[in-house]
Amino acid sequence: MAAESQSGQLLRVNGVDHVIELDPRATLVDVLREQLGLTGTKKGCDRGECGACTVFIDGRRVLACMMLAVAAGGREVTTIEGLSSKDGELHPVQREFLDNDAFQCGFCTPGQVMSATACIAEGHAGSDDEIREWMSGNICRCAAYPQIVAAVAKANGQIGAGTIAGLDLSAASGAGSTS
Ligand code: FES
Ligand code: FES
């Protein structure tokens, strides 16, 4: 349950506290996009099938279309806007997506990048087959899959398992695919 205040509920996103009115029926993806203006998180299927809405909750990847925003209260939400460093330097996964042309239209890309970052942190990026398996919840309608796998493999060689967006995942158990 979200923390409450006189004027709303607390939602912490990318290290910033927001006190906002939350419709108890609103999904996290809608609140991020429509109330907080964080439109980097995409809404594709809106029913848990495409992965476009992937964000982190306490360092674990979740589908923001399948989660009520109130359930994210008091937890650390990270979106694609929070992945790069404070000075704007791209995360290694973002850099490798660019360098490997791992997108065409780009609509799926934020979700792919978030999921790829988690996949690496979870230790599930040791081979192309493993990457395909653990990224299987992220659909790319432009079929940029070969380049996406290449980008994830190269990023994995740079950063390896254990951390995600500055959060230590070593104590987390059961981190899994978004599929
Ligand atoms: S928009 Fe959430 S899984 Fe497709
Ligand atoms: S780049 Fe177009 S849907 Fe993936």
CATH number of the 4-82 domain: 3.10.20.30
Ligand approaching nearest to the C-alpha of 48: 1
The number of angstroms, rounded, from the C-alpha of 155 to the middle of its chain's C-alpha atoms is 16
Give the binding-site residues of ligand 1, using a 6 Å CB cut-off.
43-46, 48-53, 63, 65
Q: What is the C-alpha separation between 131 and 147, in angstroms, rounded?
A: 12
Is 172 in contact with 48 (CB distance < 8 Å)? no
Is the beta carbon of 24 within 6 A of some atom in ligand 2? no
Give the global pTM. 0.90
pLDDT one-digit tens code per residue, 63-120: 999 999 999 999 999 999 999 888 889 999 999 999 999 999 999 999 999 999 999 9
User: Which one of 1.20.1370.20, 1.10.287.70, 3.40.50.300, 1.10.150.120 gives the CATH number of domain 92-168?
Assistant: 1.10.150.120
